[in-house]
Amino acid sequence: MELILSHHSSYPRIGDSAELQVLRRTIAEWEKGEKPESALRAAEDRMTELALADQLEAGLDIVTDGQIRWYDAVSHLAGRLGGIRINGLLRFFDTNTYFRQPVVHGRIERTRALAVDDFVVATNKSSRPVKAVLTGPVTLARLSIEQNGSPGGFEKLLEGYTAALAAEVAALAQAGAKLIQIDEPVLLKKPGELEHARKSLAAIAAARGQSELWLATSFGDAAPIYGQLQELPADTLALDFTYSPTLGRVIGAEGSSKLLALGLVDGRNTRLEDPMNTALQMEAITRRLTGAKVYLTSSCGFEYLPRDRAQLKLKNLTAIKKEFTGNRA
């Protein structure tokens, strides 16, 4: 079985050095009218390049653009869709970050690219495959509100977001994305949403072409619904182990009909995992897996960490892989 190291999604946008502060400074200057938008785009490109460099230097096999251009996981996508305006700040699940809430006032429409341009920029700067990442339609719909209680309710919101994301996935596949990840953290907070996820993912999967479609869940215990997650129309499940003390045993006992991305590195804790202990944990988890490959990743994106710790976490993925492959030799 091949072990593939993959970045999950986001990466810190700032660091301690002057170079790593360039995006923060440029945003402030742009907001005051002191810098043109072209300067902002250049700063975003530079920080994307540096995020990719950290991932490549650490030895990852699959990278992301770090979502450097994203203000948050919700408004970055929703704010680019027709029929939506962006409102005030709310806490993003139980994290220490916030998102700007979308207010839907009309028909949700994809009138321009949401992430394709970012993917192309990252691909041109990376020597390794770039995974595209999108927040999922169920999460977007549940974190949005309708202006004046417009008719249709949640089902209408979900339908609109699903159609828009399916179109984006088709565009990403056409642009060369071999791996496309759909983040649905709401599924572990509200397991009753699984049927909604099944329908929306089916539409997205139909648009993916030859791309490998990932479903990523986080911020909750996946063990109680592991069997139901296996039934969803995705090729790969990316699972957060930090909330799931029994998930490893469940997988070890039941195996998996899908490829798995094991989120064994905590993306929200600065403490470094012990490579040997994590490799042994992987041994127990993978004993029933029959696929040709398994991915090792973090529980969620690294945006919640200081940049220096995120760098160490990336390098620790490589250390864990060395222990794991040595154990299996």
User: What domain count does the chain have?
Assistant: 1
The per-residue pLDDT for 30 is 86
The per-residue pLDDT for 328 is 55
Whether 192 is in a domain gets the answer yes
The per-residue pLDDT for 17 is 78
Task: Look up the CATH number of the domain holding residue 220.
Answer: 3.20.20.210
The per-residue pLDDT for 121 is 95
Whether 289 is in a domain gets the answer yes
- Domain of 11, in residue numbers: 2-17+51-328
Whether 46 is in a domain gets the answer no
Per-residue pLDDT of the chain (329 residues; tens, 9 = 90+): 899 999 999 999 887 777 777 888 888 888 888 889 898 999 999 999 999 999 999 999 999 999 999 999 999 999 999 999 999 999 999 898 999 999 999 999 999 999 999 999 999 999 999 999 999 999 999 999 988 655 578 999 999 999 999 999 999 999 999 999 999 999 998 888 999 999 999 999 999 999 999 999 999 999 999 999 999 999 999 999 999 999 999 999 999 999 999 999 999 999 999 999 999 999 999 988 988 899 999 999 999 999 999 999 999 999 999 999 986 54
3-state secondary structure of 256: coil
In order, the DSSP letters of 3-46 are EEEB--SB--S--SSSGGGHHHHHHHHHHTTSS-HHHHHHHHHH
Whether 33 is in a domain gets the answer no
The per-residue pLDDT for 288 is 86
The per-residue pLDDT for 21 is 79
Q: CB–CB of 86/71 below 8 Å?
A: no
- The tokens describing 201, both together, are 């993912």
Whether 257 is in a domain gets the answer yes
Whether 260 is in a domain gets the answer yes
CA 206 distance to own-chain centroid: 20
Whether 167 is in a domain gets the answer yes
Give the alpha-carbon dihedral of 133, 137, 142, 143, to 10 degrees.
Answer: 40
At 255, phi and psi to the nearest 5?
A: 70, -160
Whether 320 is in a domain gets the answer yes
